Structure 1
Amino acid sequence: GHIIIACRNRERAEKACHEIKQKSGSNKVEIELIDVSSLDSVRQCVRRLNKKLDKLDILINNAGIMMVPYEKSPDGYELHLATNHLGHFLLTNLLLNLMKKAPKARIINISSVAHKLFNAKMKWDDLNFEKSYSRIDAYGCSKLCNILFTRELAKRLIGNLKNESYLFSYQLTYQIIFIGTNITANCLHPGVVRTELMRNLGGSYASLSALFLKIMLPIWWFISKNSVQGAQTTIYLAVDKQLDTTTGQYFSDCAKSRTTAAALDDASATRLWHLSENMTNLSATLIEIEKEKHE
């Protein structure tokens, strides 16, 4: 198979690409630059992929940030929401036509047990966290969004839209994307993985992190996973043949896992989808990109 590493940092991407080529013995690995916090960057990446690919078998939405100071994306959205959800929402929807051309395709969204630990709830009246900001709440909410997005996407990919009368007001190109696909969508908690995800912690969080590492490092090392271990559930969802028809589920340690009532709320999943469509200008973007293909 052919692997594309989509990353915003060219140096990190090239290093990962080189390591994969060395360890696998395959040269079928390349990089694409993308900053998922920027909707324009997502659109430009999709345009490039449309020119080079005739199909896409697996999409793994792995990019993310964790408990960063308050900041807005280039499009004016709170950075956790923009990076951890909206960018993946747009990227996934814009790549569905390529995935439909694969015999079987899978979408894997990386969520986190943080949505449970932080008792995450959707802040419908303040998704941008402009009234009050908590790094924990913003991160937890973005991880809840991953699960709600996965559930709604899975429902739409199998054509379960009987009660969605609003669909018929959309452009035909948009309708065609969803009906009768053989694409599955699942999400997962990778485990507590020793990565650089916490590199952006600052202020009191940085002090707490440093203290935690000094005191708890032996225990932390025992309970946490290295990057290879942390990737196992993602790989399982991507390639295990027993999961060909499994969709809309949340996994941990290569098994289906319980989630929260908030993450199982179908009304919230649909509401988030509608809001995300508007925030990413999805319908107009789909029409524009489809036109470009035929020019």
Structure 2
Amino acid sequence: MFKNMENKICIVTGSSSGIGKGVAKAMAQRGAKVIMVSRDKTRGKESFKEISAISNNVEWIPADLCSVESIHKLVLSFKSKYSKLDILFNCAGDKIMKKYYTIDGFDGLFFSNYLGHFLLTNLLFEHLKNATPSKVITISGRGHKPSLTEGNFKSAIDLNDLQGNIHFSYGKYAKQATLAKIMFTYELSRRWKSYDIASTTLCPGLTHTNQGEYFPLPLKILVPLFYIFKETQTIEEGAAHLINLAEKSNNEINGKYFEGGKKGLFEANSSEESYDDSVAKKLWEESKKLLDHQNSSV
């Protein structure tokens, strides 16, 4: 039985496919007002058409979360229609395994997976405050920890080279982007707790999505085999973990990291490095400086 989410307004980034789409669909089924956010491409249009058939309470705001201007336009469009935001689902991200830059000159991996959501979340502060108790739910991942599949080494925040402009390594900076999202979640929970805005993050677990579409050809061949031999979840199963967090009270989830899988969703410990409050504060300030340099202060 679905828990009723009527009168709840939510934004779901990355809603054209994968877990983001699964979350948008599940929230629509529960009666929420769903604002789908994705790039203005065929897949985004088709996903909106599919989910709006479930509910007439679904809207699509096309936006490129690799563009500072596009993020600001997204927020302005949202604020022109709504006075509050109950839940922000930060689901978007990419796994492009090469160095590339956004239109604003940011490292693409760093911005698409972390800094864009840092900006979006901060720009939506007043509307989250208007809806309290409200929530920010961010997909991160186990990948910030040592693992055989994602690099058997610890992740750390390199404050001297956050964007890998001195020496780029996909393995290092993919891990750092994941760690940055977790540390951002914890710092946000400390800064916004007094407003009754909960901030939480999770690794949904291995889910059969299309994120491998940007992988090099050898990996594109291996990924389907990996899905066959590992216990993968469907998109609906992966999305259910985010819905689980959305349905919990703020006290149950604020400032916490969760891991999901076929057996359910459980609170877990993130890496030792992720709990360093002093580094989290420095990361926050450096993130602001990077955006201020683009005249996009938060």
TM-score, normalised to structure 1's length? 0.81
Distance in 2 of aligned mates of 1:47 and 1:146: 24
Matches within 5 A, 1:59-78: 59-78=88-107
Structure that is richer in helix per residue: 1
Deviations 1:55-105 (A, max 9, x none): 110000111011421101122121111111110001000001011111311
Residues 67, 139 of structure 1: 8 Å contact kept = no
Residues 94, 109 of structure 2: 8 Å contact kept = yes
| Alignment pair present for 1:7 and 2:38 | yes
Distance in 2 of aligned mates of 1:157 and 1:285: 21
Name the structure 1 match of 2:232: 224
Residues 90, 282 of structure 1: 8 Å contact kept = no
Matches within 5 A, 1:234-253: 234-241=242-249, 243-244=250-251, 246-253=253-260
Residues 154, 184 of structure 1: 8 Å contact kept = yes
Aligned AA for 2:47? A
Distance in 1 of aligned mates of 2:259 and 2:227: 23
| Alignment pair present for 1:157 and 2:186 | no
Name the structure 2 match of 1:45: 74
Distance in 1 of aligned mates of 2:171 and 2:271: 17
Name the structure 2 match of 1:174: none
| Alignment pair present for 1:262 and 2:273 | yes
What displacement does 1:219 show? 0.7
Evaluate the alpha carbon distance shift between residue 69 and residue 2 of structure 1 in structure 2; reply closer, same or farther with a 3 A threshold: same
Residues 277, 283 of structure 1: 8 Å contact kept = no
Distance in 1 of aligned mates of 2:36 and 2:108: 22
Distance in 2 of aligned mates of 1:187 and 1:41: 24
What displacement does 1:30 show? 0.8
Distance in 2 of aligned mates of 1:82 and 1:283: 13
Distance in 2 of aligned mates of 1:14 and 1:208: 28
Indicate the SS of the match to 1:97: helix
What displacement does 1:143 show? 0.5
Q: How many residues are aligned here?
A: 257
What displacement does 1:284 show? 6.7
Name the structure 2 match of 1:145: 180
Deviations 1:201-247 (A, max 9, x none): 12xxx314414535x45313xx1111011112111111224x45531
Deviations 1:152-196 (A, max 9, x none): 0110002xxxxxxxxxxxxxxxxxxxxx41110000001111111
Name the structure 2 match of 1:290: none
Distance in 2 of aligned mates of 1:282 and 1:132: 22
Distance in 2 of aligned mates of 1:135 and 1:279: 21
Distance in 2 of aligned mates of 1:63 and 1:282: 24
Q: Say what the alpha-carbon RMSD is for the aligned residues.
A: 2.0
Evaluate the alpha carbon distance shift between residue 212 and residue 88 of structure 1 in structure 2; reply closer, same or farther with a 3 A threshold: closer
Indicate the SS of the match to 1:141: helix
Residues 184, 245 of structure 1: 8 Å contact kept = no
Residues 203, 259 of structure 2: 8 Å contact kept = yes
Residues 68, 296 of structure 2: 8 Å contact kept = no
Identity of aligned residues (%): 28
Aligned AA for 1:184? A
Name the structure 1 match of 2:13: none
Which stretch has the larger CA shift, 35-44 or 142-151? 35-44
Matches within 5 A, 1:28-107: 28-107=57-136
Distance in 2 of aligned mates of 1:245 and 1:212: 35
Indicate the SS of the match to 1:251: strand
TM-score, normalised to structure 2's length? 0.81
Distance in 1 of aligned mates of 2:223 and 2:46: 30
Residues 245, 253 of structure 2: 8 Å contact kept = no
Unaligned runs of 5+ in 1: 159-179, 288-295
Name the structure 1 match of 2:207: 193
Distance in 1 of aligned mates of 2:237 and 2:196: 29
Distance in 2 of aligned mates of 1:78 and 1:14: 27
Indicate the SS of the match to 2:253: coil
Distance in 2 of aligned mates of 1:68 and 1:236: 31
Distance in 2 of aligned mates of 1:125 and 1:97: 32
- Please list every run of at least 4 consecutive aligned residues from structure 1 whose deviation after the TM superposition is greater than 6 angstroms: none
Evaluate the alpha carbon distance shift between residue 212 and residue 43 of structure 1 in structure 2; reply closer, same or farther with a 3 A threshold: closer
What displacement does 1:282 show? 9.2
